[in-house]
Amino acid sequence: MKDTDALKDRIFDLKAKRNAIILSHNYQRDEVQDVADFVGDSLELSRRAADIDCDVIVFCGVNFMAESASILSPGKTVLLPEIGANCPMADMIRVSSERKVWKSFPGYKEQPAFAYPHDFTLRDIRAQYPGAPVVAYVNTTAEVKAESDICCTSSNVIKVVESLQQEEVICIPDKNLSMWAAKNTGKKIIAWDGFCHVHDRITAADVEKAGMEHPDAVLMAHPECRMEVLKAADYVTSTSGMLRFARSSDAGEFIVGTEVGLMYRLRKENPEKIFHPLRKDMICPNMKKTRLESILTALTKMVNIIKVPEDIRIPAKKSLDRMLEIK
């Protein structure tokens, strides 16, 4: 028996013993996706975390995703197998300059304050635009969600912004997702200056190069990419939106403008179709931290528990619930 198979068997045994469910984001390593009960995008994973029946959720993703699971399912034990798996974009906005650090569990390192934009905070931008609701991308900390009006993901941002009565809306923290919402809703969007380092470094020149190499391929792009990339794309959507599009499209060849972890499901679910990464180095190091060994350790020792305190959880849940109510 291969080492990997032995590891998987031990995970399955422990999972049954602990009445645990493994959720995995679409960017996780192939072997991690293989042991998961459900693999999906941020919206699908939030919905699962809210209605799943189990005692333990093992969240294979990054920390804001495990926080969302804790916010939505406070009665369950949420484990983040790699405690250092964070999303740098989520750390680009903080509530206030004297932000409370409640993450005191072993191994957690407070991320250095991002200078984005400089020492400006969520409370500052709210004060500057009184009356404008705050739409927080789920890629934010629990504290930021708690001080926002509604959350969104890459798959529902347009619907979320359109659901608001106000014509002026603050969108945090991803400037590219915010510009995408502005383009598609006609609302005045006040965008925070954050970005995803994996998607934001892709340029129109990369698109041109990929198009020359694969002239018959359809380009799918994630809305965390720059507008110059989104304008050139044939289809802009979330990771699971790409899976649906690839499945239903008549096209047989695609260029994939997102993190390369998605290639595994795309190829597995569409063996007759061809997929090329827009750039081979679209790799999120934080999403790749989780390994089978990390899952096994977390489940064996029941460590790396993510528990959002009630004073943050309750207002943060309001923002997530408001989003989840939108069909």
Could you list the residues that contact ligand SF4 (CB under 6 A)? 62, 87-89, 139, 196-198, 224, 259, 284, 286-287
If contact means CB under 5 to 8 A according to the sort of partner, which of ligand 13P, ligand SF4, none does residue 206 touch?
Answer: none
Helical (H) or strand (E) element with 235:
strand 235-236
Where are the strands (E) in 258-307, listed by range?
274-277
Which three-class secondary structure state does DSSP give residue 185?
Answer: helix
Site for ligand 13P in 183-202 (CB under 6 A): 196
Angle at 320 between CA 100 and CA 61, to 5 degrees: 75
Cα–Cα distance for residue pair 207/230, rounded to 1 Å: 10
Answer yes or no whether residue 238 interacts with ligand 13P by CB under 6 A.
yes
Identify which of 311, 287, 310 has the alpha carbon closest to the alpha carbon of residue 80. 287
Pairwise CA distance, residues 134 & 150, whole Å: 7
Residues 123-162, one symbol each (x = binds ligand 13P by CB under 6 A, - = not), give: ----------------x-------------xx--------
Q: Which one of ligand SF4, ligand 13P, none interacts with residue 286, CB within 5 to 8 A by kind?
A: ligand SF4
Least separation in angstroms between residue 87's CB and ligand 13P is 6
174 scored as a contact of ligand 13P (CB under 6 A): no
**Would you state the torsion angle of the CA atoms of residues 52, 58, 59, 63, taken in this order, to the nearest 10 degrees?**
120
Binding mask 244-283 for ligand 13P (x = CB under 6 A): ----------------------------------------
Give the nearer residue to ligand 13P in terms of CB position, either 122 or 284.
284
Least distance (Å) between residue 150 CB and ligand 13P: 16
Q: Is 14 helix (H, G, I), strand (E, B) or coil?
A: helix
Q: Which is nearer to ligand SF4, 160 or 198 (CB)?
A: 198
Q: Cα 176 vs. chain centroid, distance in angstroms?
A: 14
Q: Considering beta carbons, is residue 11 or 49 the nearer one to ligand SF4?
A: 49
Q: Which does 88 bind (CB under 5 to 8 A by kind): ligand 13P, ligand SF4, none?
A: ligand SF4
Nearer to ligand SF4, 206 or 224 (CB): 224
Exposed/middle/buried for residue 128 (C-beta within 10 Å: 0-12, 13-18, 19+): exposed
**DSSP character for 296?**
H
7: phi then psi, degrees, rounded to nearest 5: -60, -45
The CB-of-323 to ligand SF4 minimum distance in angstroms stands at 17
Number of residues binding to ligand 13P, judged by CB under 6 A = 11
Under DSSP, is residue 136 helix (H, G, I), strand (E, B) or coil?
strand
Residue 198: count of CB within 10 angstroms of its CB: 25
**Interface residue list for ligand 13P (CB under 6 A):** 26, 41-42, 139, 153-154, 196, 222, 224, 238-239
